[in-house]
């Protein structure tokens, strides 16, 4: 297996690790991530996102 195939596999795995239920809201350089849970509880975490790739799914305000 060559390195390029390995990189593609690693990228696919890392991308699949993000659940579709996570909603990311961009506020300046920080993002508010809401984790939806089965019991209805919502935990809000403020995550620092220095640079958001253009291939991220969801609403991204430029």
**Domain assignments of the chain as residue spans, ordered by start:** 21-52
Can you tell me the mean pLDDT for 42-48? 58
Q: Note the pLDDT of residue 40.
A: 47
Kindly report, residue by residue over 23-36, the tens digit of the pLDDT: 555 555 444 455 55
- Could you give the percent of the chain with pLDDT greater than 90? 0
For 2, 17, 23, 52, the CA distances from 49, given in Å and listed in that order, are 31, 17, 14, 7
List, in sequence order, the alpha helices (H) in 1-62: 3-16
């Amino acid at each position: 297996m060559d390195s390029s195939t390995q990189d593609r596999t690693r990228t696919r795995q890392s991308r699949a690790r993000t659940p579709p239920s996570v909603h990311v809201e961009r506020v300046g350089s920080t993002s508010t991530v809401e984790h939806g849970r089965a019991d209805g509880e919502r935990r809000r975490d403020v995550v620092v996102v220095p640079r958001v790739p253009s291939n991220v799914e969801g609403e991204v305000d430029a």
